[in-house]
Homo-oligomer: A and B are copies of this chain.
Amino acid sequence: MSDIIRAVQFGCGPIGVAVGSLAARRSDMELVGALDVDPEKIGKDFGSLREGGEELGVVVSDDAKALFAETSPDVVFHTTGSSFPGIFGQLENIIGAGVNIVSTCEELSFPYRTEPELAGKLDKLAKEGGVTVLGTGINPGFLMDLWPLAMTAPCQDIQHVRSVRIQDASPRRLPFQKKIGAARTPEEFQQLVDEGTLRHVGLPESVAMIAAGLGWELDEIQESIEPVMAEEEVSSPLLKVAAGQAAGVKQIGRGLKDGRELINLEFQAYIGAPDPYDAVYVTGTPNMEVVLKGGMHGDIGTAAVTVNAARRVVEAPPGFVTMKDLPPVVCPTG
């Protein structure tokens, strides 16, 4: 591999466009190709998929095999779905072409609890193919798993880890605002939850990563989801939420052992959150309270973590890895 990382963007939805665009403007990276299955995107310049974006000379293709053969990329940024079993076939094909992978698939961030066999199969494939595969993003991947883990370095012992992420959804994309149930009645909200379409994916994975990192063998991981109700009308530039409607979602992931809670992750994303922040609380010696003021914008952060992880992934020994296995992912200053 040369010092410049050659990257292909696999999946050209909003996150894929953000990731690929960041890769394209990085001085240590070259965007050499883009893939999607959408006939509306195939044949277009990747840069044009971004509102007001300049052409990049990278045409969206639907032929992964030909693109990989032609461009010999070092890494694929994979951003097509949240379900690990759902994207496994895509990963198989990329590995088959001998290309390293950084994927934003949430369930891939730490699948050892829910899909241990598939994770093992992926690791075997990656090793055989001589490539490294990582699932990451801002959350899961950093804020509610790697960051809390990394903050335990100065602790002599730990009894409990808590992470809180309060997001104001107002500046986010409309699909995100809809995904969190904003402007739904409580009944509609519950229906979407029951259908499985309204849910931030990743809390159980983050709980499992923290537990594995700290050597806690959990008996159980619980997850709850409920609406954050608007008590008065609130609105984003894109959406109006009436009083009595859901402004967004509150989810809690918990890790328990012998009936005792060891890990508590609280995720809130709603329109009009007055004081967004991210925080880590460790109960131990010493107790720690670490706050990221104002919180982290999800899309900006996910694009950054994904692109920043590329060098670590390219340099790592072959296999399937998670964020806790890699030296710190850093921003090479842009």
Contacts and interface: CB of A to CB of B under 8 A. Distances in A.
Given A290-B290, A290-B291, A291-B290, A153 B297 contact: no
Interface in A144-168: 146-147, 149-150, 152-159
B334 A156 contact: yes
Contact of A290 (B142, B293, B301, B305): B293
A303 interface: yes
Contacts of A297: 286
Contacts of A294: 289
Given A138-B154, A153-B308, A213-B330, A293 B300 contact: no
A286 B290 contact: no
Given A290-B292, A294-B289, A303 B156 contact: yes
A156 B269 CA distance: 22
A56 interface: no
Interface in A202-229: 213-216
8 contacts: A147-B150, A154-B305, A155-B331, A156-B300, A157-B334, A214-B332, A285-B304, A326-B327
Interface of A: 22, 28, 138, 142-143, 146-147, 149-150, 152-159, 213-216, 284-286, 288-294, 296-297, 300-301, 303-305, 307-309, 324-334
Given A142-B154, A156-B304, A156-B334, 17 more contacts: A142-B153, A150-B150, A150-B328, A152-B330, A153-B328, A154-B296, A157-B334, A216-B333, A285-B304, A288-B292, A288-B296, A289-B293, A289-B294, A324-B328, A324-B330, A325-B327, A327-B327
